[in-house]
Amino acid sequence: MSHSTPPGSWDGSWYRVHTEHFEAAFLPNADEDLESVDNVDVFVDLKDGSRWSATMITPAQVEVIMARWAESGEAMGGRYFWCSDGLIVRDAGISSMTEVLVGLVENDEFTQVLQRLDT
């Protein structure tokens, strides 16, 4: 798995990555190292014009959130984690997350995994 600098560019708050299959717009925190991103919203525009979204998150970050909720009482004291367009990925980083998105397109699984935004 590649952990090099992601092939993208900044557009305001968005980090945009272009591939042969799509353009992905990631919304990392302002000073976050792109290859350490472990919880990020992404909007993906496929070549067919359709638009999709996901919240990409690592298992380690899910655990951090659930531990915080155990303290705050949210989500029944951290007993569950849920988000409407969640996609759990093993590895942190925009490069790794982009590779997952490319793999989903190439394996024809993309439309089953991400949330379609347009109708």
Q: What is the pLDDT of residues 26-47, one digit of tens each?
A: 999 988 999 999 999 999 999 9
Contact 23, 16 (CB under 8 A): yes
Contact 20, 29 (CB under 8 A): no
pLDDT greater than 60 at residue 118: yes
- The domain locations on the chain are 8-57+86-116
Q: Which two tokens stand for residue 99?
A: 């590779």
Q: What is the pLDDT of residues 104-114, one digit of tens each?
A: 999 999 999 99
Q: Which pLDDT belongs to residue 119?
A: 59
Which of 15, 21, 18 lies closest to 93 in space, CA to CA? 15
- Our measurement of the distance from residue 44's CA atom to the centroid of its chain's CA atoms, rounded to an integer in Å, reads 10
Q: What is the pLDDT of residues 84-107, one digit of tens each?
A: 899 999 999 999 999 999 999 999
Which amino acid is it at 107? N
In this prediction the pTM is: 0.90
